[in-house]
Amino acid sequence: MLLIASGCAMAGRGEADDQIRNLRTTYGVATAVTADLRIIARPADGEMLAFNITLWAQHDGSLRMSCTKYNVPFLECIIAPDGSFEGALVRDKQRVSGTLQEIAAAVAAGDAAGGAAFSELLTMATILRLGPMVDADNWRWHDEKEHVLLGDLDGDKLEWHLHLNGMNVSSASLVADGIPQFTMTFSHEREFERLKRPQGSRLSVRGDNTAYVFRLRNFAAVPGISATNMAFNAPEDWPHTTIEAFLEALVAPDGDASSPEP
């Protein structure tokens, strides 16, 4: 993700770290958050998908979510910090388990247009909880671009690039081997209880020709999420379905594709 620091000359790592500290103060950090999101996905060669998601993001990076698709109950799910998930397809009365990495790989391969509405939920939840700087460290100015900062993520040869517009983050990208894997562009920033967050975001994903719009409808920082809200209790007698079948259900344009705009 990318940061524009207008009016700044080339700077060393110390100055980049100082800039990030200032931004963390500006945006604020929450221990845990609850949020309601509206996600619209428009595949280039398909019908619009519309999701409404309620999420509970815990301090350890775990995530509980409840999702409707075209305003019909669709998915209940809990996602671990490593991306593994357990879910229940409510209408089909089926259980599913897997990893967000599997979903992201299918999206990048062009096999699940619209699937990033699910595969990037942990990223969105992290941005909501920690701000757009997330938990990257070792910030530095880009060697060639005056207004770009790079942050290392967990030593995985991944970089979090931020573009700044003054003291606002205008976009962010996850970059691997110099190639953006996804870019999130922020708009309509708003202050929620002293936390500054983007109310609107647009997402583009490598290998996916889908246009994604995220709209933050409700947001609150909380000390923690209760065990009740984090509990996942799908009926044990529901059969397990495959990741492939889950992906098909996720991106199928069932319902009214002309649902209202977010």
Helices (H), the chain: 13-27, 100-108, 116-119, 121-130, 227-230, 243-251
pTM above 0.85, yes or no: yes
pLDDT at 155: 64
13-251, CATH topology level: outer membrane lipoprotein receptor (LolB), chain A (2.50.20)
Choose the most confident range, by mean pLDDT, from 32-36, 101-105, 138-142, 246-250: 32-36
Contact between 253 and 48 under an 8 Å Cβ cutoff? The reply is yes
- Residue bearing the bigger pLDDT, 12 or 171: 171
pLDDT at 137: 86
Contact between 114 and 43 under an 8 Å Cβ cutoff? The reply is yes
pLDDT at 261: 42
Burial status of residue 95 (CB atoms within 10 A of its CB: 0-12, 13-18, 19 or more): buried
pLDDT at 196: 95
Sequence spans of domains, the chain: 13-251
How far apart are the C-alpha atoms of 192 and 221, rounded to whole Å? 8
Is residue 249 predicted with pLDDT exceeding 90? yes
Region 186-209 average pLDDT: 92
pLDDT digits over 59-99, tens only? 999 999 999 999 999 999 999 999 999 999 999 999 999 99
